[in-house]
Structure 1
Amino acid sequence: MDGISDTASLAALVELAATIIDYVRKVVDAPIQRKRLLAALIQARGLLSTLVELTNEVGDEDWSYSIQSLSAPYGPLSTFQELLENMTKKLGITPGGKIITAFNRLRWPLDQTSLENMITSLEKLKSHFLLAMTNDHIRLSKTIRDELHKVERHMTEATMRIQRQTILSLSREQELIVNSLSLGNLYRELDRDKIMEKRASTEWFLRHSTFKQWHDAISGPSTLVLTGSPGSGKSSTCQATHFFLKAWHQSEIDVCVAYFAFEYRQRETLSESLVLSNIIQQIVLQRPYLVEHIVNMRVTGGALSLVESVGLISQIRRDLKQLYLILDGLDECERTSRNVVEALLQIDLPLRIVVAGRGIDVSSWSLRNSVTVNVDDCITLSDRLDCINKMLEENPRIAAYLDYSPENIAKAAKLIVEQSNGSFIIMTSMVKSLAQSETRATFERLLSNTYPSLMEVYELKLDDVMHQPAELAALANKVLRMMLAGPVRVSQLKTTLTPELKDVASAQGLGMDLTDEEIAKVICSSCKGFVSASDLGTPGLRIHLAHQSAMDFLKTHGIAE
């Protein structure tokens, strides 16, 4: 027996019951039996009408399972249909007939046994209908209760989250603990002004369709691999990405952005726990309300273990709508960086991660579900030309030497791109050298020179270092030798370089009490682009080599004692 599930079948069943009721009402004979059957039929039809309405309203919702089961093959509704069809035969009702003859009005066609069987069957069906509705009402009540509890829980959590997010700063004690998580020079952010200067050379990545998909998509690959040849601009792109992601999401209290750059000099001492502790430090300093996770762990300070760090980041991620993480220089410390990435990828709620480095083999890492952007493939010579053209236009000194002529600027940009052999570091170094030209003659000489390799750029810079005024050459010589051991705080250099700084200050009339900013500017100027300072004007100012390739060059060529 087929089931009765569609609306038309149920409506036809209700109509058939109504026809039988109308017929029985008009029978004059056997008033007692007629009254009993009529009552049973009316009650069954009323329940059936209610079931039809419920079936139409609830569809296939989970809580209406019992009502839906009535329509199954050989179920109560099929039985009810069969019973009504038997009644029409015994009562002599013709299909669609509504006229009852005088003879049939006087004649009661059912014997006592048939009547009792029909009434018993109707009572059983009524019980089935009532039980199904009762079961589903109970189930619906439980569903409503569970939903109310869920809403109440979500509202409580939302209220707590809002209250927590009003915490905009750490207490002095909390700040000391958080600062102690990472004491070494592990985090180096490019100066904001320099990032804006390099915007023209990095914004291509932020406009790339793969980056937009990674940044905006709710689902899909959560890891983006940025790779390319040496000098292609990966590090600058990572630093700019960090800067602009923070700018875009600064007002979103439940979004956080962190950045870490692996460096070759750290490969022997850098551990996974140090890296992850540094990332946690950045997150909490950026979103102070998340310090409660550190407080709940009763952390007293110092680097956290790998397990503690991963656990903390997992808890923090659950509190955030999104957590963006940029990891640069994976090839510089391959073992440590690989372990860090694999640990982060184990976190249940995925982080949005950018990993950058030379020759990253996606298949050998846990990055098979990632998307990749290769700088060398994406940036055409035309793109490089447009980028350099824009950098020349935006530099007032260079634009002046080129007479503010778009034609002259375009020719200069083309010459720089052709001379660089495709190396972005060489291009930007040439632009920087041109911007430092004191005379038009020097500018034109630099522009006409060719730069066949990155090493030659460094050789020219080193030659500039050695042939500047003696006091500046002595200062730069000593600083560069110190940089081979790693970045150094200006406060330390002030003591170590006292004689050299005194000679420079005397020769240039700077006074004897130089500030850290003044010292940093003197050092960077004397080193001719080999070094740079981290965020001028911030506490703990440090001097570091501008690029890993600069360290490789200095180690190869040596610095005179």
Structure 2
Amino acid sequence: MASTTSFGDSNFGLQAAVINGNVTAQFLQSESLNQACLRDLRTTNPHHDKDRIQNTNGGLLKESYCWILHNEEFQEWQNDQSNCLLWIRGDPGKGKTMLLCGIIEEFTRTIGHTSNIVFFFCQATDERINNATAVLRGLIYSLVLKQPSLLSHLQSHYDQAGKSLFEDINAWSALSKIFMEIVRDPILRSTYLIIDALDECTTDLSYLLELITQAPSAYPQLKWIVSSRNWPDIEERFDTTQAAPISLELNEASVSEAVSKFIQHKVNKLAKVKKYNDETRHTIYHYLSSNSQGTFLWVALVCQELDRTSRRHALERLMTFPPGLNALYGRMMDQVRNSEDAKICKRILAVMSTVYRPITFHELASLVELPDNLPDDFASVSDIIAICGSFLTVREDTIIFVHQSAKDFLLREARDWCLSGGIEAEHFRIFSRSLQAMFKILRRDIFQLKFPGFSIENIMPPLPESISSGRILMSLLEKDWSSCLQILEGHRGTIFSVAWSQDERRLASASYDNTVKIWDPTLGQCVSTLEGHSDSVNSIAWSQDGSRLASASNDNTVRIWDLDTFQCVSILEGHSNSVNSIAWLRNGSRLVSASSDKTVRIWDTATGHCATTFKAPTESHSSIQWSQDISRLGSASNDNAISIWDSVTGKWASALDKHSDLITSLAWSQDGSRLASASIDNTIKIWDPKTCQCDFTLEGHSDWVLWITWSEDGTRFASVSCDNTVRIWNPANGQCLLILEGHRELVISIAWSQDGSRLATGSNDHTIKIWDPTTGRCLSTLEGHISDICSIAWSQDGTRLVSVSSDKTVRIWDATTNQRASTLERHSAPVHFVSWLQDGSQVASVSFDRTIRIWDPTNSQCVSTLVGHSDRICSIAWSQDGSRLASASNDKTARIWDPTTGQCVSTLIGHRGMVRSIAWSQDGSRIASASNDKTARIWDPATGQCLSTLEGHSHLIDSIAWSQDGSRLASGSNDNTIKIWDPTNSQCVSTLMGHRDMVRSIAWSQDGSRIASASNDKTARIWDPATGQCLSTLEGHSHLIDSIAWSQDGSRLASGSNDNTIKIWDPTNSQCVSTLMGHRDMVRSIAWSQDGSRLASASNDKTARIWDPTTGQCASVAYIGSAGLIEFDKVNLNLIHTTSGTFNIEFSCPTMSIPHSFASSPRPYGYGLNDDHSWITYDGVNLLWLPVEYRPSRFSPSFALYATTFVIGCSSGRVIFLALPETSPLSGV
């Protein structure tokens, strides 16, 4: 029922106030963001620069520039729409800058109301405005001020990157693209872009020239005016375009007349101030006219000197000025050399010739040692600057060169006197003087902020007076950093691996320099260097008792070292390629090694003999799933076939029937009696694992079938397809029971609640939908994410749902109230997978930043960060007892990790393509991996041995799932099919077909009686895995369905779609119970709470939402950054686990309005690193800044956190560690 509001006498004021308040709040928030963007974009205000330049030159004289406005070449350029580039060229001092100032004045006066007049003044002596990026920032800044609506082109990029958009190494690339977006905007008015002194753009001038020469031809609404000296490289570039050049040398008559007007103006002004008689005035005028050589600057400098000369000495002084600019500079230099203050003038000129920007009086006083008899005040220093007046001038307490040619003269003609010790010596003097100034002034926490990482941007001015004199080199101060740092130096190459001994008393490091070093972390000393490898050392591993160390190398060998004698006691040879990973058995009797030769070897450490070698087959599997009882392993291969491995007999069985295209997903029913496979052939197949025969092929989806999932009781299963639907099927007869539609985009994730009463779907439309799988009705749509929802997961009791999104956040939702419970943030890239430990005590998250983070859900603290993969991590899985974590990667390997130490226990090598998915057997004795090489492999995690290879699919296998009892394995492939395998004989039992497009997600119901699938065909299907029949097709989404999930009791099914919504379906009648709306982008992942009272969704809108699936209301919203997997804690329903951490959320009743700000979202706990690895943080607060040379790489990080000790392997070859306080370093703050 639609709500109404009446504006009667009793409530009008209240209603109006509420509406006005909301509008005002949103406007102010938007205005604040706009202002922040403009503030960070601005390096200078070109209008202020223009005013400064005109004031420095004594004002703008119209008579000195008006000739250009009547110049034939200028008028032809202005009137010709096809001629967009005007180049004003001339030697130094010819008045180019003032000419452009005059053009800007005239254009602003005559056409400024209909056209944008945008300009920028380059200055080589100021690093703020002497580079191409600064020019572009200035132009964009001025354009946005002229037409504020153009800010939208900038704001979207700024919202993602912040200030770094304008400052990092990619700033030019990003800004040039934004600039082109602006000039392509049809709302852009006719625009004149004016750039002065291209020759003073000292950095990336070629980039700027390329932009200027390319833009006019494509965008005739732009007209450029640029000026520069007569430089050949600029001329060469402009010769390739239709640039209209105006040479001041070729317009000598006009320039001379303009200079004459300038001389007349300057002499009249002098005569008035100095009270010259007519004879003196005429003599000065004629001398200047005869010797100026058409150079404004020469005239200005001579007049400046005459202004300092008494009237009676004016003519005498006048005759000492030689004609020509360089000759005048030489004369002025002789004057400085012969003055009584020559020594101090020399120091000042040396500093000014060396620094990268203009400096203030305060800074000069710190950098130049002034004579004892010279007071350190403004007047005294001004007098000294006046002696250097032909070279320097002062504007607003800042010392600048009168012209770039003055600095050029000092560095070229007067270098031997000005910089007699060389420019390097002057840099050292500036450095030393800066340090001395800092030592006198600075102290720890000078602002008494208490927070070490407090941003300077948040410090309100004014700065303390004592600080300004030393600020030129304040960045050199690293005392806070160095006082708690131990540096382990000795390696000559990159550190590949760092490992603690079990007792934490020693640290080992492996390096590119072919050595292993043993360190005493307390003393920071190298105890021993282990030499013997002939190539880089990739991995090291301590034995359990700490008496031995194993090292794996690119020289194809493994070495075992005695750590009492530091001698190599054994060399293990046999691999034919580099050894990448090693792991000890707990008793130390065996060592496992994995190599790039596609073998895993088990070694007898006592004899050094190879006990067993496991070779990878010629074809590899892309997806595998253990059965619940570990008796069978199902795999999907890239040739579209399903195979099942029997762990008792060790034999493989392959199904005869195949999908016609790639298998995308596998899923076992809970009792293991059936296996479902999804494929991009738009079908799902149900397999009997005992006979490896396909019982049913479920057809109905119109696009790829991506995922399938069984309900807990096995009576239904759901399929997700690229047709944007989720279908619920009856596996007993292969009938489609329901089609769940409602998402506007692809459904990425799907999950049944534990009881099967609800199904959750997460979609690219940024929403999660909870469905009733009995009716097909969407019960609620969880909105809040601001990007794609990658994965969703229900808590065991169905009360909470976890969602993970591309917005780098993980969100926990109260499925009862639909409120966000918590947000976990720590990853520096989108999070795409999350996995709970069975008892809910820990959660692991996987990110595109190539790291795995293990979180403590009770306090949201990141317990460990696992680093080792050389490419993106695709999937992770916990062993049932939580003692091991497995990861699958694009680097074609899987790794077994010890989550307590963060060490890689074993590397499983053999796949020839990326490993897409992994799954542990229930007892943890076996692990299955699925790969792009169309094979699945079964491994012994204790030995690293490949026990079997499953082949059969004709395309990569994207998903794999065991039935609860382990009797069936389901594989989903890009061949559009799902295959169910009997792991005892490797036979394909059933192939599920029906979706019209690829299946994106599948989910077993808890009892294994049904499988739900989500597809690109915008439907979800419910299947009977026993018969392969589609029980129902759930239609309603307007875009592909990305995720699907059963409620725990199987009574509802939820689907998340790219249409930004989540639908909750009743699987018994295919009706959409509720549509959950609120996400502003696709829903990537959904999850039911254990009791089915809540549904969580993760979206690409960077939010996670908790929904009440009954009412469809959103109970909570959390900002999570990137969408990924999301789950409820199985014990404490107020805890939600995400890839960013674990968050404690107190669920509230459903509310009708969701706050726009997420500033109150929970933060991480304990020590960690910030996104760019430049700070060590505590509870999310910047604590300790790391200089660049002490940071781990962002792309292949080599660091470890053990308790409160940080170990960092640097690219320089150094290993450093920091012992951090066990108690909160922020206590009392």
Is the TM value for this pair above 0.5? yes
The alpha-carbon deviation at position 224 of structure 1 amounts to: 0.9
Q: Which residue of 2 aligns with 1:15?
A: none
Within the candidate set 110, 116, 119, 1:255 is matched to 116
Q: Which residue of 2 aligns with 1:481?
A: 350
The alpha-carbon deviation at position 475 of structure 1 amounts to: 5.2
The alpha-carbon deviation at position 375 of structure 1 amounts to: 0.9
Letter in 2 for 1:418: S
CA distance in 2, matches of 1:501, 1:292: 55
1:274–1:520 CA distance, 2 compared to 1 (3 A) = farther
Within the candidate set 358, 368, 378, 2:251 is matched to 378
Is the 8 Å Cα contact of residues 178 and 281 (structure 1) preserved in structure 2?
yes
Within the candidate set 506, 530, 547, 2:391 is matched to 530
Is the 8 Å Cα contact of residues 264 and 285 (structure 2) preserved in structure 1?
yes
Is the 8 Å Cα contact of residues 88 and 227 (structure 2) preserved in structure 1?
yes
Within the candidate set 72, 92, 96, 1:234 is matched to 96
1:394–1:229 CA distance, 2 compared to 1 (3 A) = same
Q: Which residue of 2 aligns with 1:180?
A: 40
CA distance in 2, matches of 1:214, 1:432: 36
CA distance in 2, matches of 1:526, 1:478: 13
Is the 8 Å Cα contact of residues 108 and 117 (structure 2) preserved in structure 1?
yes
Within the candidate set 196, 201, 205, 2:68 is matched to 205
The alpha-carbon deviation at position 523 of structure 1 amounts to: 6.4
In the alignment, is residue 436 of structure 1 matched against residue 308 of structure 2?
A: yes
The alpha-carbon deviation at position 243 of structure 1 amounts to: 5.3
Q: Deviations over 1:338-380 (max 9, x none)?
A: 4313213433434221222232565643653222211122232
The alpha-carbon deviation at position 297 of structure 1 amounts to: 2.5
1:367–1:531 CA distance, 2 compared to 1 (3 A) = farther
Same amino acid, percent of matched pairs: 19
Alignment of 1:359-508 (within 5 A): 359=230, 362=235, 364-365=237-238, 368-380=241-253, 381-397=256-272, 400-401=275-276, 403=277, 405=278, 409-437=281-309, 439-466=310-337, 470=341, 476-485=345-354, 486-490=356-360, 493=363, 496=366, 500=370, 504-505=374-375
Letter in 2 for 1:446: R
User: Counterpart of 1:525 in 2: which secondary structure?
Assistant: helix
Alignment of 1:304-315 (within 5 A): 305-315=171-181
Is the 8 Å Cα contact of residues 122 and 195 (structure 2) preserved in structure 1?
yes
User: Counterpart of 1:365 in 2: which secondary structure?
Assistant: helix
Q: Which residue of 2 aligns with 1:322?
A: 190
Is the 8 Å Cα contact of residues 232 and 375 (structure 1) preserved in structure 2?
yes
1:334–1:478 CA distance, 2 compared to 1 (3 A) = closer
Letter in 2 for 1:451: P
The alpha-carbon deviation at position 270 of structure 1 amounts to: 6.4
User: Counterpart of 1:341 in 2: which secondary structure?
Assistant: helix
Q: Which residue of 1 aligns with 2:403?
A: 547
Q: Deviations over 1:2-24 (max 9, x none)?
A: xxxxxxxxxxxxxxxxxxxxxxx
The alpha-carbon deviation at position 264 of structure 1 amounts to: 7.9
User: Counterpart of 1:377 in 2: which secondary structure?
Assistant: coil
Letter in 1 for 2:357: P
The alpha-carbon deviation at position 226 of structure 1 amounts to: 0.8
CA distance in 2, matches of 1:263, 1:272: 11
1:270–1:233 CA distance, 2 compared to 1 (3 A) = closer
Q: Which residue of 2 aligns with 1:55?
A: none
CA distance in 2, matches of 1:320, 1:523: 50
1:177–1:504 CA distance, 2 compared to 1 (3 A) = farther
Is the 8 Å Cα contact of residues 262 and 296 (structure 2) preserved in structure 1?
no
Within the candidate set 340, 349, 361, 2:208 is matched to 340
Letter in 2 for 1:547: H
Q: Which residue of 1 aligns with 2:81?
A: 219
CA distance in 1, matches of 2:60, 2:374: 31
CA distance in 1, matches of 2:296, 2:288: 10
User: Counterpart of 2:212 in 1: which secondary structure?
Assistant: helix
The alpha-carbon deviation at position 489 of structure 1 amounts to: 3.4
Letter in 1 for 2:388: C
Is the 8 Å Cα contact of residues 426 and 451 (structure 1) preserved in structure 2?
no
User: Counterpart of 1:221 in 2: which secondary structure?
Assistant: coil
1:360–1:460 CA distance, 2 compared to 1 (3 A) = closer
Is the 8 Å Cα contact of residues 214 and 352 (structure 1) preserved in structure 2?
no
Unaligned 5+ segments in structure 1 are 1-166, 507-511
Letter in 2 for 1:376: E
Q: Which residue of 1 aligns with 2:139?
A: 279
1:184–1:220 CA distance, 2 compared to 1 (3 A) = closer
CA distance in 2, matches of 1:326, 1:367: 20
- Aligned pairs, number: 370
The alpha-carbon deviation at position 331 of structure 1 amounts to: 3.7
The alpha-carbon deviation at position 532 of structure 1 amounts to: 3.0
Is the 8 Å Cα contact of residues 359 and 399 (structure 2) preserved in structure 1?
yes
CA distance in 2, matches of 1:264, 1:489: 10
CA distance in 2, matches of 1:191, 1:228: 18
Letter in 2 for 1:496: S
1:419–1:177 CA distance, 2 compared to 1 (3 A) = same
CA distance in 2, matches of 1:520, 1:188: 24
User: Counterpart of 1:325 in 2: which secondary structure?
Assistant: strand
Is the 8 Å Cα contact of residues 330 and 338 (structure 1) preserved in structure 2?
no
Q: Deviations over 1:78-124 (max 9, x none)?
A: xxxxxxxxxxxxxxxxxxxxxxxxxxxxxxxxxxxxxxxxxxxxxxx
Is the 8 Å Cα contact of residues 451 and 457 (structure 1) preserved in structure 2?
yes
Q: Which residue of 2 aligns with 1:43?
A: none
CA distance in 2, matches of 1:520, 1:249: 45
CA distance in 2, matches of 1:287, 1:525: 43
User: Counterpart of 2:317 in 1: which secondary structure?
Assistant: helix
Higher helix share: 1
The alpha-carbon deviation at position 451 of structure 1 amounts to: 0.7
In the alignment, is residue 352 of structure 1 matched against residue 251 of structure 2?
A: no
CA distance in 2, matches of 1:521, 1:293: 46
User: Counterpart of 1:528 in 2: which secondary structure?
Assistant: coil
CA distance in 2, matches of 1:314, 1:221: 19
User: Counterpart of 2:204 in 1: which secondary structure?
Assistant: helix
CA distance in 1, matches of 2:54, 2:99: 13
User: Counterpart of 1:197 in 2: which secondary structure?
Assistant: coil
Q: Deviations over 1:102-147 (max 9, x none)?
A: xxxxxxxxxxxxxxxxxxxxxxxxxxxxxxxxxxxxxxxxxxxxxx
Q: Deviations over 1:146-192 (max 9, x none)?
A: xxxxxxxxxxxxxxxxxxxxx9xx95654443343365999954444
1:498–1:415 CA distance, 2 compared to 1 (3 A) = closer
User: Counterpart of 1:445 in 2: which secondary structure?
Assistant: helix
Structure with greater Cα Rg: 1
The alpha-carbon deviation at position 218 of structure 1 amounts to: 6.7
User: Counterpart of 1:259 in 2: which secondary structure?
Assistant: strand
1:491–1:456 CA distance, 2 compared to 1 (3 A) = closer
The alpha-carbon deviation at position 440 of structure 1 amounts to: 1.9
Letter in 2 for 1:208: N
CA distance in 2, matches of 1:244, 1:533: 28
CA distance in 2, matches of 1:468, 1:521: 16
User: Counterpart of 2:242 in 1: which secondary structure?
Assistant: coil
Larger relative contact order, structure 1 or 2 (CA cutoff 8 Å, min sep 6): 2
CA distance in 2, matches of 1:335, 1:559: 25
CA distance in 2, matches of 1:520, 1:322: 48
Per the normalisation by structure 2, the TM-score is: 0.27
1:330–1:192 CA distance, 2 compared to 1 (3 A) = closer
CA distance in 2, matches of 1:383, 1:183: 33
CA distance in 2, matches of 1:457, 1:500: 28
Unaligned 5+ segments in structure 2 are 1-26, 421-1229
